[in-house]
Structure 1
Amino acid sequence: MAIIGAGVLVLIIGIIAALMHWGEHHEAGEAASHLGATAVHDADAHEGHSVLVRRIIVSLWHSNVFFIGVSVVGTVFMAIQYVAYAGWSVIVKRINEALSAWLIPGGVLLVVLFLIGRHDIFHWTHEGIMTKGSATYDKIVAGKSGFLTLGFYLIRMISYLTIWAVFSWRLRQLSIQEDLNGGTSYFHTSVKTAALFLVLFAVTSSMSAWDWVMSVDVHWFSTMFGWYVFASWWVSGIAATTLIAIFLKQAGYLRFMNSNHFHDLGKLMFGFSIFWTYVWFSQFMLIWYANLPEEAVYFNQRLGGFEGRYTWMFYFNLVINFAFPFLALMTRDAKRQMIIMKIVCIAILIGHWSDFYLMIMPGTLKGDNGFLIEIGIAMIFLGAFLILVTRRLVSASLIPVNHPFVEESVHHTT
């Protein structure tokens, strides 16, 4: 609640700053008449309100897509542990289950945002853009009309969210029933359920990245983008799992969780920060090398475009998402110290929220971006996310007492 309150305060300050044009510089001609100046002021005020509404809608979309990704990764992580018959991770299994609590409210909000704010987020939804002979006709966008249609888009969106939510709910129910009744039948059913979910997620995660993020820059495309978005979601989800585990441990819970568990979680964050960088570099290098205008425009906007508004964040993205986790977690001891792990987890979550900012804002807000409104909305989302996660955490034992591998996890060593 404190985080939500602070977020509301930052959001209000950001809205006031946008309405008052704080930090903006306007030059007016000295010879302009009073009537002309008034007309310009009125036009600026109207445009300011339009930009403000657009910023709020796009920021809601940005933070919601990020938190939905973190949420579903909780289920993905748990499903991978099931199909791998992994025992060490049972100790954090309930945290993974709790992360998925955001899927349904986040999914509903995503659908509502698309219905009421799609014109502010997606250029391809504008009237006449796919109609030949229209003043706003765009041949490139019209070529994608078979995929980018309102009805088909909504069907896909609802399908992704439904699949993720249903499988998350099913795995959670099997886990609770296992706690109550014991036996190994629930575990074997969970393995089969997890295997099916992972197959479906492999397809839907990439498609959701195309729909929710890549179609913002509707002229641009990348065959690696699905992997890129997944890598950002994945390492963020692992960081969220680790950070919650640290806070629970420091609060006196999860007493069976030891430095060996943190070591393994640290190795995952270390490894997948490198994986994210590999995908980032592969995408960037191929586009840079080919130097095709329809591909290079994406990086031109982020490297010097819009008067360089995103250039510093482009480099900050690499520092906080690769250089810092790589250097901080390089040693074995670093992965076993909660203070270092806590700092790295927070940095990764901030860094990949910024990564999604860099993916979405240049294609939607162009040079009208800002940070106060966006940070305020992100804090509100974080507070709401934590409320739902903690409610689910307290609804069952933090240790799955009848899981077949619980003893292996409790006595885990590396």
Structure 2
Amino acid sequence: MGPRRLLAFDGFRRLLLSRFASQWGDGLFQTGLAGAVVFNPERAVSPQEIAVGFVVLLLPYSIIGPFAGALLDRWDRRRVLVAANLLRGVLILVSALCVATGVAGVPLAMLALVVIGISRFVGAGLSASLPHVVPVPNLVEANALSVTLGAVVSVIGAGCAVGLRALFGEGDAGSGLTTAIAVVGSVLAAGLAARFARGALGPDEVDEPATALAAVANGLFDGARVAARTPSVAAGFCALLAHRASFGISLLLTVLLMRFSFEDFGPIEAGLPGLGVILGCGAIGIFVAGMTTARLVTGLGRKRTVIGALAIAAVAQLGLGLPMIMPTALVAAFLIACAGQVVKLCVDAAVQRDIGDETRGRVFALYDMLFNITQVVAVGIAAAVIPANGESPTLIVAATVLYLVGMVGFELVTRRGAAAEPRPTA
């Protein structure tokens, strides 16, 4: 089923638009905040502080993920999406006020933690709701379209932040105004989610303890149990864990290189504008992945598609990362983003297809939690050994090796799952 036929489903269109609004605001907020802290001429920041900023931005949902999963499988997802988006909008405005008044350090970091955490919660809710608005046979195409275009819209939001900073100024006041605009995305996302009927996004059945506290306490264990006994999901987790760890190292390297080492490349300026161009290359890669993943899986099979994507990412990481210059970094951003998105779409489809609706929210929440923790650990370890200017061939090689480890893990778990399946009898 092509995108045009998918868009004929009214529920899918509304959920897609809600995702677009949410992720546009996310991209604008995160880039506006990064510009305010990392590329703000009024604030001095060290490479280590940049690394710590990445860690704290990824921590919140790593901690609350299991709890969110239990709630998504217990509460009306439509109501959750509306309330979470509105709360995020309020906190975005508070964060913008802090930026504009020069607040830094722990208070601003804590606000960012909560805003990003709510964004992850909203993303898990949107993914868990998708099977309620499209037929099950079309989940792969629908997921590829929504996740891919959502990621592209997020990059568009980041580009808007770069443009708004040029308009409002790069100091605290201009950065605060830029960050505040992100509230528009949260309000629109809440309004679009509110148009669904009560219960339309699930869960259909509530398989939970009598009290919410017990449900929250069991969320992590339930999600882990279900994922572990589903070979397609467990194997996908191995592949995506490797990608997120490698991507975390690459992200830290790219920001530091762009801040301290890269030189202008033709019309592309180093600094935040150059980082925006790299994000744009990544967005193109994500878009290409979204348009080709379903065909790749149909032609090659899920296993070959995932292994091939990890192999391409490894080659790009080593061959294009080692020169540590902007032109090769742009190509590497495209290839790594494309390969990573192919893997993610395969894993998303496995969760949506092979996990029951009564536990799907918990598995998606566990999914986000594990991958954010992996990225946090990777960034933290890299920050401990990275040079001040970000030039580290050793870390590039380490990121390449992680992709190879992911390929081996995916292969082993897939084989184990195939061996465990009962053989047909005559």
Mark yes or no: TM-score above 0.5.
Answer: no
Q: Which has the larger radius of gyration?
A: 1
Sort the TM-score into its range (normalised by shorter chain). 0.3 to 0.5
Q: Give the structure, 1 or 2, with the largest relative contact order (CA under 8 Å, sep 6 or more).
A: 1
TM-score using structure 2 length: 0.32
TM-score using structure 1 length: 0.33
